[in-house]
Chain A
Amino acid sequence: MRFSFEVLVSLKPGLSDPQGKAVASALPTLGWTNVSGLRVGKHIALDVEAADEATARAQVEEMAGRLLSNPVIEEYRILEAEEA
């Protein structure tokens, strides 16, 4: 079976996020002065062929930890899988 996953990668809280800061400082120029806590991250979508969802998810966990994110500076979240 094939399962679709989405992985969200973001910089760890506390680490400076220059991209997020730049985007946040552009918003007030468009009139939004009520925004805070803006962080920019990455969205990675992938399909995994596996016998069941738990196996597929375990593999995505490993991919996320070893390649998709750098544990020194980033954290990741795997969104609910869907059968593709």
Chain B
Amino acid sequence: MSDGAPRIGVITFPGSLDDRDAQRAVTYMGGVAVALWHADHDLRGVDAVVLPGGFSYGDYLRCGAIARFAAVMDEVRAFAERGGPVLGICNGFQILCESGLLPGALIRNRSLRFICRDVFLRVETSQSVVTSELMTGETVEIPVKHGEGQFVAREDELRRIDDEGLVVFRYASGDGVTDDAENPNGSIDHIAGIRNARGNVVGLMPHPEHAVDPDVGPTGGQPLFASLLAAAMAGAGA
């Protein structure tokens, strides 16, 4: 529980790239960014945790496969089980899937190309730690940059994801229409981000931390960080 601004931890794994951007986004949005280290069994008492993008452990074997066994992940798992807000972005999403905190997996883009561009995401639920400040059906503009972002899941898992309303974001047009042309990586059902049943763990491939400052592009990431900060203030993980 925090007295002032919420403290948001950002984990650095060997090969993380976007940890500094995530810290900057937290600060920009009024939070206190706390650097966390993959090898520490310590979350430094933060109110929320961000697993940033990058190529942890070189993405060897599979994206996120080795990072999920990092010491800090034991603490992240316990924090998530207490209801603490956890956000995985891109490689962080892959790590959350590998660790079983989120269902499904991310495989090579259908095009086999690395993609780097702004996309629109349609909000599918406001019941999550990154969408509480958004309305269902609303769209936000945020960049993607990944080579392995095609979301897949077993058929039974996919049914559960659908039944329990675990999809948080879908790739869509600016006015919220899903279409293969708007789906950059071939993700099944246009899925860009999902949550756990409780809504306190969210993973998405697009990068909200690159979209908070109007000086450098779209600002669709702002409501996601505002939501995360609000969830952190509520102190669910304390």
The interface of chain A, by Cβ under 8 A from chain B, is 11, 15-16, 18-19, 22, 42, 67-68, 70, 72-73
10 interchain pairs, CB-CB under 8 A: A11-B107, A16-B107, A16-B110, A16-B186, A18-B108, A22-B112, A70-B98, A70-B105, A72-B105, A73-B152
Minimum CB–CB distance for B110 against chain A, Å: 5
Q: Are B105 and A73 in contact (CB under 8 A)?
A: yes
Bound together, the chains give a CA A68 to CA B104 distance in angstroms of 17
Q: Does B227 sit within 8 A of A, measured CB to CB?
A: no
**For the complex, would chain B's binding face be called helix, strand, loop or mixed by DSSP majority?**
loop
Contacts of B110 in A (CB 8 A): 16, 18
Minimum CB–CB distance for A46 against chain B, Å: 13
Q: Are B186 and A72 in contact (CB under 8 A)?
A: no
Contacts of A67 in B (CB 8 A): 61, 65-66, 69
Closest 9 CB pairs of A and B: A72-B105, A73-B105, A18-B108, A18-B112, A22-B112, A18-B110, A70-B105, A70-B62, A15-B152
Look across to chain A and name the residue whose beta carbon is closest to the beta carbon of B154.
A72
Bound together, the chains give a CA A2 to CA B23 distance in angstroms of 47
Contacts of B61 in A (CB 8 A): 42, 67-68
Q: Are A19 and B62 in contact (CB under 8 A)?
A: no
Bound together, the chains give a CA A16 to CA B112 distance in angstroms of 12
User: Count the B residues whose beta carbon is within 8 Å of the partner chain — how many?
Assistant: 22
Contacts of B87 in A (CB 8 A): none
Q: Does B131 sit within 8 A of A, measured CB to CB?
A: no
Contacts of B104 in A (CB 8 A): 72
Q: Are A16 and B152 in contact (CB under 8 A)?
A: yes
Contacts of A15 in B (CB 8 A): 107, 152
Bound together, the chains give a CA A29 to CA B108 distance in angstroms of 23
Q: Are B108 and A72 in contact (CB under 8 A)?
A: no
Contacts of A18 in B (CB 8 A): 107-112, 150, 186
Q: Does B192 sit within 8 A of A, measured CB to CB?
A: no
Minimum CB–CB distance for B190 against chain A, Å: 15
Bound together, the chains give a CA A42 to CA B157 distance in angstroms of 25
Contacts of B154 in A (CB 8 A): 72
Bound together, the chains give a CA A18 to CA B113 distance in angstroms of 10
Contacts of B157 in A (CB 8 A): 72
Look across to chain B and name the residue whose beta carbon is closest to the beta carbon of A11.
B107
Contacts of B112 in A (CB 8 A): 18-19, 22
- A-facing mask of B64-97, CB < 8 A → 1, else 0? 0110010000000000000000000000000001
Minimum CB–CB distance for B200 against chain A, Å: 21
Q: Does B39 sit within 8 A of A, measured CB to CB?
A: no
Look across to chain B and name the residue whose beta carbon is closest to the beta carbon of A44.
B61
Bound together, the chains give a CA A22 to CA B111 distance in angstroms of 9
Minimum CB–CB distance for B48 against chain A, Å: 26
Contacts of A11 in B (CB 8 A): 107
Q: Are B65 and A70 in contact (CB under 8 A)?
A: yes
Q: Does B116 sit within 8 A of A, measured CB to CB?
A: no
Bound together, the chains give a CA A47 to CA B194 distance in angstroms of 39
